[in-house]
Amino acid sequence: MSSHLNMAHAAQALAALGHEARLSVFRLLVRSGHEGLNVGEISAHLDMPASTLAHHLRALVTAGLVVQERQGRITINRADFDAMDGLLAFLGDECCAGVKPATDAA
């Protein structure tokens, strides 16, 4: 995800974060920093079964918000900070730019 997101990519990322469990996972990974966490660690922190967690991680990876790296038999999960920054930039990009009156507005 880049700072030049299109509406569809932004909507996909926001939809992924729109679920309480996925938002909790993402916030935990943000707190863990660039070291990330493996599935067992995330599961222990959030008291979430591994099978449920796998489903939520898949949605976050698909949305481009989490990256996974295999280290032997362990998969490390990290928040994609560039994607997070890009999403925040997209949301605030036109802040206070003004809105022209719509001619069809009643």
CA atoms within 13 A on the CB side of 14: 12
Number of H helices, E strands in the chain: 5, 3
Per-residue confidence band for 105, with pLDDT thresholds at 50, 70 and 90 = low
Per-residue pLDDT tens over the stretch 2-45: 447 899 999 999 999 999 999 999 999 999 999 999 999 999 99
Residue 25 confidence (pLDDT): 98
Per-residue pLDDT tens over the stretch 61-73: 999 999 999 999 9
Residue 27 confidence (pLDDT): 98
What is the topology classification, in CATH, of domain 7-91?
A: Arc Repressor Mutant, subunit A (1.10.10)
Go through the chain and tell me how many residues it has: 106
pTM (two decimals): 0.88
Q: Which residues, 6 or more positions from 42, have their beta carbon under 8 angstroms from its beta carbon?
A: 25, 28, 29, 48, 53, 57, 77
Q: Provide the angle, in degrees to the nearest 10, between the axes of the packed helices 20-32 and 39-46.
A: 120
Residue 83 confidence (pLDDT): 97
Instruction: Delimit the domains of the chain by residue range.
Output: 7-91
